[in-house]
Amino acid sequence: YEADPNVKMVVLLGEVGGVEEYHVCKMMRDKKLTKPLVAWCIGTCSDMFTSEVQFGHAGSLAGSALEKAAAKNAALAAHGAVVPDSFDTLGGAINKVYKKLVSEGKIIVKEEIEPPKVPMDYDWARVSTLIKVKGKQSLHF
């Protein structure tokens, strides 16, 4: 994303467990990631539990204090990322960075265009036998 001139900012959604977010901190420190970064690591509530709690689709959990979401959020903020106060304010943080980039002229707002119309309604095409469904695979004519 750093080399793509069309990418103006990066949004990172991390999680409790693992250390990948610290690799991003190192990239920021080493100036390999210079674009604005808005970041949030989920699982900050894990400190409220007396035992380890698993989060996310992979059942992530912190194996050390370094792997806790709060520690990762603090590290990302210390390296220059915009880290909101909570997941609920992530959208607002993204919007704030976006508006700043617009005001600096780094993002040129373009008029929204109407998306192209789908050539035909799927249900109608299926009923009219333009599309035949056999098992799990659709056959298109």
Q: Which residues are catalytic?
A: 57
Q: Half-sphere exposure of residue 136, counting CA atoms within 13 Å on the CB side? A: 0
Instruction: Tokens 């903020």: give the residue.
Output: 77
What letters, b where the CB count within 10 A reaches 16 and e where it falls short, cover 86-99? eeeebeebbeebbe
Cβ proximity of 22 and 48 under 8 Å:
no
Q: Is 113 exposed, middle or buried (0-12, 13-18, 19+ CB in 10 A)?
A: exposed
**Residue 119 DSSP symbol:** S
- Cα(79)–Cα(47) distance, rounded to whole angstroms? 23
